[in-house]
Structure 1
């Protein structure tokens, strides 16, 4: 869904078919079915007031001690020069009797991020929302917008101003942002023409419904023969 242009795009693949003609036939068949499902959908509801989160117990795949050990190991790798950074994440699990699409609608209501997704596969559904653009390719230009540095929104305009200024003044958050920008420049530089990779925005403040972020923009012109 492109909310800026007010358009919806349907994308299908012919996988797992291997032959080109059979794959194309399967993709076209799936596209027709998707189009039918979209046209038959009832009007969208933001699912206000639903009790999606009531009574849910989240379970982490990390214990507190295990997480601290993982942090210590990551620091050892960084000091040894094996890695520059690590995304040390947790997975939370919970039992819930909520239809995945209702969960998606509720997520869109409480966190209307620019990039949201809902995938419904056989036995598996994926719901997500993020303010961060990983890659954008238009013509032979590529763009990435990494985010490093976050503060919650305040309860008043004055608290908003304090938290925003605190984020902008944070040496730690700016250093992390600059580090990821350097990594993105290096990665994009591998597939872009020499001299075209530029940082057009560095650690600018962006405001979202629930948080402030520091965001940067790196662009480059793709080398001949490269399309992503």
Structure 2
């Protein structure tokens, strides 16, 4: 999904020396993920995401002398490896630098939300991730939702976001059609009970669908 990410116009043109020596060792909390995202040019990171400067820490060699490389120490609760990989992969592509393959892409909705979390953490204009929002909406229109997707959407997005509305409609429509299997349905109901606002909106949407079906059935009978 990295090709969907758009950096601000001010990012371009990309400097020709953006791959110059001085790299970032990337940490999430105390976990070093540099083996999965190796040799990332520091100049490139700060060009595309200047906000990351506040997470940089100096690296000192064993001799005690300062080192050109830096540690990028990201907050533990704010990002996951996949989202960071995707964004950095896009930076590398735009910089003309070979990027390491992303081995495992999670479920589309879960993966998309991980990208959005990292994008926000990087401090980049959220308009540049609008295609990721569109991708999530497309999945919600075409596929039956699962409980882990319900949890991820409800916990990340503002409650008036169109994606939340589409999620609720997905639940209601697919429950009515019998498309959500018993195990997933039970998990969704259990999660919703712990979130009264979500539970209430599902009830309201279900009632609205029932009224619509009743109205259509009444109109059909009156034609015969």
Whether TM-score is above 0.5 comes out as no
Larger radius of gyration: 2
TM-score by length of 2: 0.23
The structure that is helix-richer by fraction is 2
TM-score by length of 1: 0.22
